[in-house]
Amino acid sequence: MNILEVKHLTKDYGNKRGVFDVSFTIKKGEVYGFLGPNGAGKSTTIRHLLGFSHPDKGETKILGYNSFFDYSKVLKDVGYIPGEISLPAGLNGIEFIKMMQQMQGKVNEERLNYLLDIFKLTKEQLLVETKRMSLGVKRKLAIVVAFMSDPQVLILDEPTSGLDPMMQEVFIDLIKEEKKRGKTILLSSHIFQEVDATCERIGIIKDGKLVSEFNSSDLKHNKLKRYKLIFKTNRDFKNALTSIENASYINVLNKDDNKKTIQLSCHDDYINSFLEIVSSYQLEDFVNLKETLQDYFMKFYKEDREYGGLN
């Protein structure tokens, strides 16, 4: 069952800004990673999912309800963390939590205390007026408020921005826990570690368009492997390069005459033939270059000079 649906979403702000014909779905109990640099269209998509904006074309749905026209029904069972935290002035943390409990119509003190404990939010910190809180405390408070009503759906926009590494790990563990409990989660981020650690499927957005969508397990178990070969002599390097370039099942990615190095890719189905070629030459080193999520992502942005704050 699709809990969250984005269908041909288009919102054109001009000057190539916005989102253009974006479509994806998220099933019950799934964590979907929405990956892209700042300005790629992640937050625009999320604003439409939450009913904050009306699309030029297409539609977004949560739990079967149209996000824009059924706004009040959608938000009853959705926890949301905005990319930029802006808490109301004139309230301390405890007052803000109580206000949000009233708006959510749900009070679960056991759940609240659990979240306050794991994110180490003390009573002293919560008694501080929101505008005087540090960025880290504000971010942790936003996480607690999003999760405290135990919603079915969680929409998280750069949720760990401003958190220290220890709290980022706590957050990752919380997402894994919620996933086991059957929650449906959209995790929008440019932090590869948390996306890679929690998401089953990942969509990459660039310039407002979804340029890739894949199962994270497919990337981790990709049969097209990359290798780096360093040869002992120039003669072996040149002869091996000729043999490798003549093998149709091997793709040379990079070569360096000075360092006597070849980087290449070869499918697992041809690994024996590949090793037979390599074994004829003296090697200084043979390295399997495992492709990470960051490596795959950068293929779509390698021509850009700036990446908008990638971590």
Domains observed in the chain? 2-220 (3.40.50.300), 224-290 (3.30.70.920)
Question: Where do runs of H (alpha helix) occur along 51-156?
Answer: 71-75, 93-104, 109-118, 123-126, 135-147
Neighbouring residues of 85: CB distance < 8 A, sequence distance ≥ 6: 135, 138, 139, 142, 162
State residue 303's pLDDT score. Answer: 53
Q: Helices (H) and strands (E) in the chain — how many of each? A: 12, 14
Decide if 46 contacts 234 (C-beta within 8 A): no
What pLDDT, on a 0 to 100 scale, did the predictor assign at position 301?
76
pLDDT of residue 306: 42
159 phi and psi angles, rounded to 5 deg: -65, -25
CA torsion, points 70, 73, 78, 79, in degrees to nearest 10? Answer: 100
> What is the distance in angstroms between the CA of the first residue and the CA of the last residue of the chain?
33
pLDDT in tens, 135-184: 999 999 999 999 999 999 999 999 998 899 999 999 999 999 999 999 99
Q: Are 224 and 210 in contact (CB under 8 A)?
A: no
CB neighbour list of residue 69: distance below 8 Å, 6 or more residues apart: 51
- Please state, in angstroms and rounded to a whole number, the distance separating the CA atoms of residues 92 and 64: 36
Predicted confidence at residue 304, as pLDDT, reads 53
Question: According to the model, what pLDDT value does residue 74 have?
Answer: 86
Q: What is the pLDDT of residue 309?
A: 38
Say which residues have a Cβ less than 8 Å from residue 130's Cβ, sequence separation at least 6.
87, 88, 89, 91, 92, 93, 96, 138, 141
Closest CA to 71 of 91, 90, 51: 51
Phi and psi at 304, nearest 5°, equal: -85, 145
pTM: 0.82
CB 155 within 8 A of CB 74: no
Give the pair of three-digit tokens for residue 100.
């949000």
Residues 271 and 226: beta-carbon distance below 8 Å: no
The tens-digit pLDDT sequence of the chain (311 residues) is 899 999 999 999 999 899 999 999 999 999 999 998 888 999 999 999 999 999 999 999 999 999 999 988 888 899 999 999 999 999 999 999 999 999 998 999 999 999 999 999 999 999 999 999 999 999 999 999 999 999 999 999 999 988 999 999 999 999 999 999 999 999 998 889 899 999 999 999 999 999 999 999 888 788 889 999 999 999 999 999 999 999 999 999 999 999 999 999 999 999 999 999 999 999 999 999 888 898 888 888 765 544 443 43
CA 247 to chain centre: 37
297 C-beta neighbours (distance < 10 Å), count:
22
